[in-house]
A = this chain, B = another copy of it.
Amino acid sequence: MSRAKSYDAAKIDTLAKSKLPALGIDLGGTKIRAAAVRDYEVITEPKQVPTPEGREHIIEALVDLVSEFKTDILMGVGIATAGIVNCDTGEIIGSTGNLPGWSGTPLKKVLESKILLPVHVENDANAAGYAEARIEALRKKRCVVTVTLGTGIGGGIVLHGRLFRGSNWAAGEVGHIKIAQDNKRLCTCGLIDCWEAYGSGRGLIMTAQEMLEGVTIDQSRLVKEPGTLTTYDVFSAAKEDDLMAKKIVERWHEHIAHGLVNLAHVLNPDCFVITGGLSEFVDFQLLHDMVADRCLPRVADAIEIRQSAIQGQAGIIGAAQFVIDELLTPRS
């Protein structure tokens, strides 16, 4: 009976609160971006500042950004950040990639004391995955897995509309599944043969360097000074029919497919969403065929791979929406 009573009170509260937007902040290695979000949509012009160095300066920058929005009409602030995050305490608890020294920051506590609004802190790939999986077409699916392809590989697993965070806040660290034997490549995380060491931008360049060994400048325009080759070089050469570049890009697709095949056999998702800076270079038909070809028939039947429709905004939307959704429904 007490449940029924509190339901009505909560419902009224929900209706009142749901008209308020939340501020979403995407804290990246090079820039911090923020915008107000309501109903899974960005409703203000995003603001952006460069990411300063050092914990104190980052926190200052976050506080300044928040103050640029009318905080009296915000439900709260959601922050998508690199690193594994304890979402109960809002503390950064592990592997922060391109934000050195950020691990250990009690971000929620520090920020709430300064801005006097509820703060939710979330891993950036999780925040993006949440936003992707909550779009109209996917909201009711059993399982949506979002994979972010960029300087690293991140993942966000949403089951029945809710983010799955695992026993220790580390579910979805899919960039570190191991896709080779025999200790071939060191990953930036210190582990060996991680998916990220093959499928990320850095991985693509390593693949290119391996494949270009012994190749001459007459055979490929990608043969240049060591250390100067960029992902842009590879993709643009492939577009202009450089045979070697095309082979490298195909191999990169195989590497991405390998990780997706593994995820498909574990989770059998309704849909993969591919996002991140490198997703625009993915040949989705080729990737789909490669993945389906390497799966059990029943698993292959379910393979759907989409390109993100909210690329660049998903972190902001997801982080902000967590504030709204988590304040409205208690976490199980």
Interface residues of A (CB under 8 A from B): 4, 84, 93-95, 141-143, 155, 157, 159-160, 164-181, 189, 191-192, 258, 261-263, 265-270, 294-299, 301-302, 332
The 3 A-B residue pairs whose C-beta atoms are closest, nearest first, are A166-B268, A94-B298, A168-B302
- A177 lies within 8 A of B262 (CB): yes
With known contacts A179-B181, A180-B180, A262-B262, A170–B269 Cβ distance under 8 A: no
Bound complex: CA A119 to CA B93 (Å): 47
A95-B298, A268-B166 known; A181-B180 Cβ under 8 A:
yes
* Contact partners of A173 in chain B: CB under 8 A: 265-266, 268, 296, 298-299
B contact residues around A168 at 8 Å (CB): 268, 298-299, 301-302
Known: A159-B159, A191-B296, A296-B189. A266 touches B172 (CB 8 A): yes
B167 engages A94 (CB within 8 Å): no
A141–B269 CA distance with the chains assembled, in angstroms: 22
Distance of A265 Cα from B263 Cα, bound (Å)? 10
Q: What's the nearest-Cβ distance from chain B to residue A125, in Å? A: 12
The residue in chain B whose Cβ has the minimal distance to the Cβ of A4 is: B4
The answer on a CB contact under 8 Å between A176 and B302 is no
Contact B298–A170 (Cβ < 8 Å) = yes
Q: Which of the residues B93, B157, B180, B192 comes within 8 Å of A266, measured between beta carbons?
A: B157
Given A177-B261, A265-B173, are A294 and B191 neighbors across the interface (CB < 8 Å)?
Answer: yes
Q: Which of B4, B180, B269, B296 contacts A176 (CB 8 A)?
A: B296
Having A166-B267, A168-B301, A173-B298, one finds 12 other A-B pairs with CB under 8 Å, namely A4-B4, A165-B268, A167-B269, A167-B270, A167-B302, A170-B302, A172-B266, A173-B299, A174-B265, A176-B296, A177-B262, A179-B181
Q: Is the CB of B166 within 8 A of A269?
A: yes
Q: A294-B191, A302-B166 are in contact. Are A261 and B178 (CB under 8 A)?
A: yes
C-alpha gap A166/B301 in the complex (Å): 12
A265 touching B296 by the CB < 8 A rule?
no
How far does the alpha carbon of A297 sit from the alpha carbon of B70 in the complex, in Å? 40
Identify 26 residue pairs between A and B in the complex whose beta-carbon atoms are under 8 Å apart, listed by A's number.
A4-B4, A84-B298, A94-B296, A95-B296, A95-B298, A142-B166, A143-B166, A143-B167, A159-B164, A167-B268, A167-B270, A168-B302, A170-B268, A170-B296, A170-B298, A170-B302, A173-B266, A174-B265, A176-B299, A177-B262, A177-B265, A178-B258, A191-B294, A191-B295, A191-B296, A262-B262
**CB-nearest residue of chain B to A258:** B178
Residue of B nearest to A144 (CB): B167
Complex Cα–Cα for A261 and B177 (A): 7
With both beta carbons as reference points, the residue of chain B lying nearest to A304 in the complex is identified as B167
A276 to B223, CA, bound (A): 52
State how many angstroms separate the Cβ of A85 from the closest Cβ of chain B: 10
A38 CB, nearest partner CB in chain B, Å: 28
- Min Cβ gap A178→B in Å is 5
Q: Is the CB of A268 within 8 A of B169?
A: yes
Give, as a whole number of angstroms, the nearest-CB distance from A293 to chain B. Answer: 9
| A269 to B159 CA separation, bound complex (whole angstroms) | 15
Q: Find chain B residues with CB under 8 A from A157 CB.
A: 266
